Amino acid sequence: MTYTIDTNKVVSEIFNDEAVIVNLASGAYYSFKGSAITIWQLLGAGYSDEEIIGQFKDAESINKFIAFLVQENLIATSDAVTKQTITIDQPFTLPEYKKYDDMKDLLLLDPIHEVDQTGWPHKKAE
């Protein structure tokens, strides 16, 4: 199965040893390290999960990471068959990924019912 990254909803930047991904809809952001970075790049380039597992062999950790990406709406399944070839020059290391949701409350406030007189973005006291 192949996947797409909707760049209208998800933005990312890859540094040498870490990728930072932001879900614009939920406000959650993520840090990827290890082979999570390469897998993210391969998925974005149109590689299928079978191809990635074939390359790296560790089906369990790769499937778990891809399931996480789907659950977080960072990728969606796709019928696309074209792909951009990526040269993999890093040995496989366990995908490391961390979610930060400290911005979530800011976005999920109900603007009509969950603000007090001090106004947005302060949450209404319980």
Partner 1 sequence: MKLSDPAFFFDTLKTLYTNSDTRSGSTVHVQLAEKVLAIHFSRPEIKVYMLASLSHIVVDNVSSADITIYCFDSPLLTAFPWQARDYGVQGAIEGFNTTRFQTAYQHGSGAVMMYDHDTKEGIYWIKDFTDIPYWERSFPFRSILHWWSRDTSLILLHAAGIGQQHSSALLSGKSGSGKSSTTLSCLLRDDLQIAGDDYVLVDTETSTLYSLYNCAKVEWDNLERLDFLKPLVNTNIKEAEKAMIFMHETCKEKVMQKSKLEYAFIPVVCRANKTTIVECTEAEVLKSIAPTTMFQLPFGQTETFRKCITLSKRLKPYRIELGTNATEIAAAISEFLIDKK
126 in contact with partner 1 (CB under 8 A): no
Return the residue of 71, 89, 91, 111 that touches partner 1, per CB under 8 A: 111
Give least dist CB 79 to partner 1, A.
26
Give least dist CB 114 to partner 1, A.
9
Give least dist CB 61 to partner 1, A.
22
Distances (CA, A) of 31 to 14, 18, 36, 79: 10, 7, 9, 27
115 in contact with partner 1 (CB under 8 A): yes
- Closest by Cα among 86, 81, 42 to 65: 42
27 in contact with partner 1 (CB under 8 A): yes
Under the rule (CB under 8 A), what is the footprint of partner 1? Answer: 11, 13, 15, 17-20, 22, 24, 27, 29, 31, 100, 102-103, 106-107, 109, 111-112, 115-122
